Chain A
């Protein structure tokens, strides 16, 4: 793999590439790559990146393996799409249904449960829809829809957006009308928007906690971490891109990254990471008991020998 990359680098070293590489390299303080020119391409979600967690993990990974990680933070849908096009070596996302589809299509291999946090329903402190009085996510969404209170949706096919749609579905409500706005933006932008417009929204706890000081919003319904409904759980999965489909991906490095992230050292980084004194993510990769469902699409059973 390394050889091929370097060959291609050499072949494409036209004037442009050479000039740019020269310019960029001259800085000296960037990219002490373990193997010349190598780096891991990670497609991930805005929630892991914007909270700053990945910088901690990736710095530790680079220290251990000498290879920098190029993290491209998009929504879960965009991250998976870019991996489908062979533009990433490994993906770290949080929408199990989309992950499963990715695996079933043969693009992803070696999935692991990685960590979790939860979603919270946030809104203005005066809480016009009375979300604070509900105990289930579906009831909360129902209340918002009944009150026609303003709600902003990520609307970007991200993991959070996928979860939000699942909750509307479970509540039996078809959201629509002037009170429901799709932004097509990341979590941070969506929280800013909700804060400015006095709207409700569904947020992952990590991003909300890291931005809490900058927005005028309150948690009105907690997720399972604080005893809220299980529907608001937010599990993150990690998997490598199938090297048999995308011959250009760096599979070995991807597995090294997955191995590091799910190792005790990597999981320690997750549990020790805090913002405003609060833990944002909870490790889920390590367990004494077997958990076979993390390796396969949810509910998958082999035709032959299982059962």
Chain B
């Protein structure tokens, strides 16, 4: 039976696969959503900009269980989006992690875009850049901040347990393959069962994964 066997590679692999798939997809979607917002806000001056920035920064600390609860209520079969039948699925977990990661990525990206000197944008325009080129060059100048934001978003997504437990349900099949069980929810389960060694192994795997992703992204980002 799968419980005695954290060494069982199928169990571990499928948990890791769900964790990575959910969190990476969530961060990808969240990044696609957040960067345009960060750019739109960062490049323009308008009334209420400080308010929006404050809202984004507050969102960074939004409790994950609250997000999970709201997503569960929205997706629940008796809720407004119940007909999508998404409750207790990886898609629901992606949605809630997306909501959690977006303010982190937007906030960090926004502050790094804003810290790019006006003179750099002039220089990009001056060498014959179009508006798209200027935006891209600004993005490149802000890339360490942006990459840091994306990594922080990923860190928040893959290490949070509150929302995925609520909207995902920590479900695994009897043959040891995970449906919505992530590394973090598996840790809560193993702790609940008193299997501290297994929980520790899972914790180490989580740490190693975060390190690995950070390493690869930092290498790509050039630092």
Interface residues of A (CB under 8 A from B): 5, 8-9, 12, 16-17, 19-20, 23-24, 27, 29-31, 39, 41, 46, 50, 52, 54-59, 61-62, 68-74, 82, 84-87, 185-189, 191-192, 210-211, 214-215, 246, 248
Residues of B with C-beta under 8 A to A23: 21, 25
- Closest partner residue, chain B, to A246 (CB atom): B77
- Residue contact B14 to A188, C-beta cutoff 8 Å: no
User: Which of these, B3, B10, B21, B169, contacts A52 with CB under 8 Å?
Assistant: B3
Known: A41-B88, A52-B3, A85-B77. A62 touches B191 (CB 8 A): no
Which of B114-122, B125-133, B156-164, B174-182 lies at the interface?
B174-182
Does B18 have its Cβ within 8 Å of any Cβ on chain A? Answer: yes
How many angstroms from the CA of A23 to the CA of B192 in the assembled complex?
A: 30
- Residue contact B88 to A70, C-beta cutoff 8 Å: yes
Known: A17-B91, A214-B196. A31 touches B174 (CB 8 A): no
- Residue contact B194 to A87, C-beta cutoff 8 Å: no
Residues of A with C-beta under 8 A to B172: 71
The number of chain B residues with a CB under 8 A from chain A is: 46
Does B67 have its Cβ within 8 Å of any Cβ on chain A? Answer: no
Known: A72-B170, A73-B170. A248 touches B90 (CB 8 A): no
How many angstroms from the CA of A95 to the CA of B179 in the assembled complex?
A: 27
How many angstroms from the CA of A73 to the CA of B193 in the assembled complex?
A: 12
Which of B79-87, B102-110, B204-212 lies at the interface?
B79-87
Residues of B with C-beta under 8 A to A191: 194
Residues of A with C-beta under 8 A to B10: 29
Q: How many A-B residue pairs have CB under 8 A?
A: 130
User: Which of these, B17, B85, B90, B169, contacts A8 with CB under 8 Å?
Assistant: B85
User: Which of these, A16, A69, A187, A215, contacts B25 with CB under 8 Å?
Assistant: A16
A206, chain B: closest CB distance, angstroms: 12
Does B44 have its Cβ within 8 Å of any Cβ on chain A? Answer: no
B207, chain A: closest CB distance, angstroms: 23
**What are 12 A-B residue pairs whose CB atoms fall within 8 Å in the complex?**
A27-B177, A29-B14, A50-B193, A58-B173, A68-B175, A70-B173, A71-B171, A85-B76, A87-B77, A188-B194, A189-B192, A214-B196
Does B136 have its Cβ within 8 Å of any Cβ on chain A? Answer: no
B124, chain A: closest CB distance, angstroms: 32
Q: A24-B18, A70-B88 are in contact. List 7 more A-B contacts (CB 8 A).
A: A69-B174, A85-B79, A87-B76, A188-B191, A188-B192, A188-B194, A248-B82
How many angstroms from the CA of A192 to the CA of B190 in the assembled complex?
A: 12
How many angstroms from the CA of A137 to the CA of B91 in the assembled complex?
A: 46
- Residue contact B90 to A20, C-beta cutoff 8 Å: yes
Does B94 have its Cβ within 8 Å of any Cβ on chain A? Answer: yes
How many angstroms from the CA of A57 to the CA of B17 in the assembled complex?
A: 25
User: Which of these, B22, B174, B179, contacts A59 with CB under 8 Å?
Assistant: B174
Does B152 have its Cβ within 8 Å of any Cβ on chain A? Answer: no
Residues of A with C-beta under 8 A to B2: 55
B57-89 interface (Cβ within 8 A of A): 76-79, 82-88
How many angstroms from the CA of A70 to the CA of B17 in the assembled complex?
A: 17
Known: A30-B14, A55-B1, A214-B196. A86 touches B179 (CB 8 A): no
Does B137 have its Cβ within 8 Å of any Cβ on chain A? Answer: no
Residues of A with C-beta under 8 A to B22: 20
How many angstroms from the CA of A186 to the CA of B189 in the assembled complex?
A: 9
Interface string of B9-31 (1 = CB under 8 A from A): 01001100110011001000100
Residues of A with C-beta under 8 A to B85: 5, 8-9, 12, 248
- Residue contact A20 to B191, C-beta cutoff 8 Å: no
- Residue contact A211 to B77, C-beta cutoff 8 Å: no
- Residue contact B175 to A59, C-beta cutoff 8 Å: yes
- Residue contact A211 to B177, C-beta cutoff 8 Å: no
B84, chain A: closest CB distance, angstroms: 5
- Residue contact B25 to A20, C-beta cutoff 8 Å: yes
B13, chain A: closest CB distance, angstroms: 8
- Residue contact A214 to B194, C-beta cutoff 8 Å: yes
Residues of B with C-beta under 8 A to A5: 85
Residues of A with C-beta under 8 A to B77: 85-87, 246, 248
Highest count of chain B CB atoms <10 Å: which of A24, A61, A69, A85: A24
A211, chain B: closest CB distance, angstroms: 4
B138, chain A: closest CB distance, angstroms: 27
- Residue contact A31 to B173, C-beta cutoff 8 Å: yes
Residues of B with C-beta under 8 A to A41: 88
Residues of A with C-beta under 8 A to B94: 16, 20
- Closest partner residue, chain A, to B3 (CB atom): A52
How many angstroms from the CA of A71 to the CA of B88 in the assembled complex?
A: 10
How many angstroms from the CA of A46 to the CA of B46 in the assembled complex?
A: 53
B177, chain A: closest CB distance, angstroms: 4
